[in-house]
Structure 1
Amino acid sequence: MFNPSRDQVRQFFTETWAKHRQHKILTPMESMALTWILQHPEYHEALENPDAAQQEFSVEKGQVNPFLHLSMHLAINEQVSIDHPPGIRSIYEQLAARTDEHHAMHEIMECLGQVIWESQRLGKPLDTDHYLELLRQHSTRH
């Protein structure tokens, strides 16, 4: 199982962005990451700034962690592509049909963030059933 450190994740995104800007060939994973980087121009400055790659991002200060956000995009992209947990692909398609693909990803991200937070707070494995239930609730909103 691939379990990169915080620094490895941040290095992956900053190097992907640098390679793109230098017109270098990207790996398939970097190409996938670049898709999400390009959809988040608000993160480009952080990806170009070595100090930002070491920064702590505080929710209490209203900061969004661009590296976490982009990582969640990649994780959800993978979940949808392999339909795991089972049913996530159809939920994603419902959400995307109602809005757009990027917004659908953000709705899923909200649910994933909630179940990750609950898992960490309770010291238990991620509750996939609860995750799918939250996703279903989002997909039926109008």
Structure 2
Amino acid sequence: MLRHFSTLKYLDNGYLFVIDENAKILVSQTKKEDQKYNVIHFVPKLKSFINSSQRSTYLEYSHQKDSKIYSKISYLLKVENLNWIIATGFNLDKLNVNIENEQQALKKIYHEKMNTILFWAGISTLVFLMLSIFFSRVLECQH
């Protein structure tokens, strides 16, 4: 089963990691050179969760990947009958980039729609102005 977990990947290179009740990493995609940093910042919070009565939790911590430090949030779930914790997480930095990209896309759509509205409002104003002038002249000719 652990071998199967190690092959699972999802959106944006996400993966599961599995930890036993002694905080030993059973499955992880994290490189060995990054694990030392992660043990220092993640394991104390992990041990606190292991010793708690909670069945699941979210942990926020700093994480090293490819020698870069990221803010990360992980969801952890205890699997009691196996004495495992199955977890997954995401980098807040990537989330912030995704939010920024979405904001830019929405701003672009907003500006495009606003330009369309202003264009048609201008055209409508000109049409009504021309109609007003036309009817004004027609009425002047009738008197």
Same fold (TM over 0.5): no
> Which structure carries more helix by proportion?
1
TM-score (normalised: structure 1): 0.29
